């Protein structure tokens, strides 16, 4: 490819909206271009990378025994009513109406579509197990689209669905996908960790996430080095630490003027935050009620655990307004679980405390020497967010914490969709039995950006060779110099057809050209300069930034060998 014919769209400065390195670099390197918030166009180089990632995914999926199809993004409302998700999915679902007032959505995921497809096409158990997948554009009206391709409103996903006769079959299919995902992310060069996950909107039980490790990741992971336990914080549990009980002291109401937060109250009363409990009021719109949640003062509520305890939906759960808190005869900043006229959910850790502090549901007052059981009760369950230092639920050792980008997730769906949607097969006794399903997603566009997040430096992207848009670029210092032009063309011919190579025939300053290719992350650069008449080039490695003078043939050999190895 001649550089003069490419749509090179590198930028000196990243647009304001980009906050993280990978987003800044994808925009600056001209890999993608923003359309509106959370919606991007892929420019030529970005598209080449995307195709390479897709192809690695495709090769591994095909090798695993899966078959590829392509479904429409437009999905009729009726399908979603069959599964019960039309009303449950919430504001993330992009809904639209056609000229005949028929309602549709743009698919955020395809359980309904694949389930009905198999229901209509597969009748005999001879066709099972079945694993079908697609690489297709998804739509989600995310509350906060951000970080470029990381959280888009339109994005590319590989989604696969398995259909088995029974639980045992599902377990085998699930393990097969677990192994396939591990191979895919290894081939893509990502540093990743597999963690236990919550099943969210998709439902069913049994799930893992594949996390690309990164400080900018939106997911938090707690893990145990001792036994290998690792879980998304939404799902993580920890061993409950049993505290020795103190003798219960008499309950005392204390004046705490303007002391609202846990920090304020613990310093005002001179007690450790661990000897306080905080009470949050939530509005659960699914069950249409207000509920109180009590956790230790130094803890955060894990809203996913709460959603599961309430059998609610994360899109339909919000912190209550001041007016709603007042409707419970309480006041913001002084809420406590004692005598509160609503259901109270108590984190199990709170029941281990003795003589602790809570709000008194009265402005400027708290209770001291509170004891669970005597002063208030509630539904006790695990509702706290776990953090580093909490004890591993498996082996009891203190856990660590890190951040990750969720690049893939796999679920055991069981019969969550096949049963209501009547996706059945006929068993040996002639009875209709719902198929047992699994579903498996990879965020293809998010994966692309995750690679950049892990592979870059201050000069730009450092694409791993197997996903790089091109393998090598030939840069003559001065294309109008006869020797340099001749050697460049010779290098180009030697590499063309055997590798993916660019010839930078642009009439620009050499420093500008070097910077450009470094930004775009092309793994190898051959520079034809003043020793061109001797056949000597400068050979530069993008990853290591090493530069060496070599005969052209040597440089070509190194590149072709590396390309052959991928
Ligand atoms: P998240 O928790 O990040 O919102 P999710 O769990 O809702 O993601 P899944 O339904 O599991 O996502 O979708 C499968 C994969 O699609 C995810 O693992 C992720 O890599 C990718 N993905 C999900 N939402 C987005 C998005 N808004 N933009 C880009 N990729 C996404
Ligand atoms: Mg997920």
The yes-or-no verdict on residue 1 having pLDDT over 70 is: yes
543-546 contacts: CB < 8 A, separation 24 or more?
543/462, 545/457, 545/459
The beta-strand segments (E) located in 6-88 are 32-36, 39-42, 67-68, 74-76
Q: Which of 294, 286, 343 minimizes the C-alpha distance to 312?
A: 286
Asked if 122 contacts 425 with a C-beta cutoff of 8 angstroms, the reply is yes
Widest distance between CA atoms in the chain:
96
For residue 259, count other CB atoms closer than 10 A to its CB. 21
Residue 90 in tokens: 């919430």
Asked if 495 contacts 524 with a C-beta cutoff of 8 angstroms, the reply is no
Kindly identify the ligand whose nearest atom is closest to the C-alpha of 441: 1
What integer is the mean pLDDT of 524-532? Answer: 97
Ligand 1 center from residue 443 Cα (angstroms):
6
Asked if 367 contacts 375 with a C-beta cutoff of 8 angstroms, the reply is yes
Kindly identify the ligand whose nearest atom is closest to the C-alpha of 440: 1
What integer is the mean pLDDT of 21-35? Answer: 97
3-state secondary structure of 544: coil
Our mutation pick for probing the ligand 1 site, out of 90, 94, 137, 157, counting the most ligand atoms within 8 A of Cβ, is 157
List, for residues 330-357, the tens digit of each pLDDT value: 999 999 999 999 999 999 999 999 999 9
Our answer on whether the CB atom of 157 is closer than 6 Å to any ligand 1 atom is yes
Our answer on whether the CB atom of 409 is closer than 6 Å to any ligand 1 atom is yes
Ligand 1 center from residue 246 Cα (angstroms):
47
Our mutation pick for probing the ligand 1 site, out of 134, 441, 445, counting the most ligand atoms within 8 A of Cβ, is 441
The whole-model pTM stands at 0.90
Name which residue leads in pLDDT, 315 or 304: 304
Our answer on whether the CB atom of 320 is closer than 6 Å to any ligand 1 atom is no
List, for residues 183-229, the tens digit of each pLDDT value: 999 999 999 999 999 876 555 569 999 999 999 999 999 999 999 99
Lookup result for tokens 């080449």: 48
Q: Which residues line ion ligand 2, judged by CB < 5 Å?
A: 409
Our answer on whether the CB atom of 48 is closer than 6 Å to any ligand 1 atom is no
């Amino acid at each position: 490819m001649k550089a003069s014919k490419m749509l090179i769209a590198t930028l000196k400065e990243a647009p304001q909206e980009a906050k993280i390195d990978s987003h800044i670099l994808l925009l600056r390197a001209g890999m993608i271009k923003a359309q509106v918030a959370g919606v991007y166009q892929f420019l030529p180089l970005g598209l080449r990378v995307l195709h390479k990632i897709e192809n690695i995914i495709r090769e591994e999926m095909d090798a695993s025994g899966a078959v590829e199809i392509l479904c429409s993004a437009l999905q009729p409302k009726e399908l979603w009513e069959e599964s019960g998700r039309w009303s449950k999915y919430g504001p993330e679902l992009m809904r639209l109406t056609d000229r005949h007032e028929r309602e549709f959505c743009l698919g955020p995921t395809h359980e309904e579509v694949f389930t009905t497809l198999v229901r209509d096409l597969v009748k005999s158990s001879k066709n099972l197990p079945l694993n079908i997948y697609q690489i297709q554009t998804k739509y989600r009206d995310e509350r906060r689209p951000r970080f470029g391709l990381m959280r888009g409103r339109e994005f590319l996903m590989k989604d696969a669905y398995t259909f088995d006769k029974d639980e045992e079959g599902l377990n085998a299919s699930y393990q097969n996908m677990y192994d396939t995902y591990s191979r895919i992310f290894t081939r893509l060069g990502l540093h990743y960790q597999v963690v236990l996950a919550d099943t969210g909107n998709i439902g069913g039980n049994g799930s893992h996430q594949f996390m690309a490790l990164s400080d900018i990741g939106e997911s938090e992971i707690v893990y145990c080095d001792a036994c290998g336990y690792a879980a998304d914080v939404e799902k993580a549990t920890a061993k409950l630490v049993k505290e020795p009980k103190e003798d219960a002291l008499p309950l005392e109401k204390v004046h705490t003027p303007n002391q609202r937060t846990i920090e304020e109250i613990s310093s005002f009363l001179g007690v450790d935050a661990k000897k306080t409990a905080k009470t949050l009021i939530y509005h659960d719109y699914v069950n249409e009620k207000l509920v109180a949640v009590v956790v230790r003062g130094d803890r955060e509520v894990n809203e996913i655990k709460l959603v599961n305890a309430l059998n609610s939906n994360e899109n339909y759960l919000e912190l209550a307004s001041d007016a709603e808190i007042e409707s419970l005869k309480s006041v913001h900043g002084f809420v406590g679980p004692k005598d509160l006229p609503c259901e109270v959910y108590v984190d199990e850790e709170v029941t281990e405390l003795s003589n602790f502090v809570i709000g008194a549901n009265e402005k400027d007052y708290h209770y001291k020497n509170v004891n669970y059981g005597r002063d208030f009760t509630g539904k006790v369950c695990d509702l706290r967010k776990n953090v580093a230092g909490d004890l591993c639920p498996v082996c009891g050792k203190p856990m660590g914490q890190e951040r990750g980008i969720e690049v893939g997730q796999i679920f055991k769906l069981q019969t969550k969709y096949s049963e209501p949607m009547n996706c059945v097969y006929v068993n040996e006794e002639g009875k209709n039995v719902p198929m047992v399903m699994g579903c498996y997603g990879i965020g293809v566009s998010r994966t692309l950006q995750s690679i950049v997040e892990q592979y870059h430096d201050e000069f730009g992207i450092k694409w791993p060779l197997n996903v790089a848009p091109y393998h090598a670029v030939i840069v003559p210092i001065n294309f109008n110099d006869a020797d340099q032009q001749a050697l460049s063309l010779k290098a180009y011919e030697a590499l063309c057809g055997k590798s993916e190579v660019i010839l930078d025939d642009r009439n620009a300053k050499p420093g500008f050209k070097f910077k450009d290719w470094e930004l775009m992350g092309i793994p190898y650069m051959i520079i034809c300069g003043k020793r061109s008449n001797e056949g000597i080039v400068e050979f530069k490695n993008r990853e290591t930034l090493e530069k060496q003078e070599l005969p052209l043939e040597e440089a070509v050999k190194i590149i072709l060998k590396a390309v052959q190895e991928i």
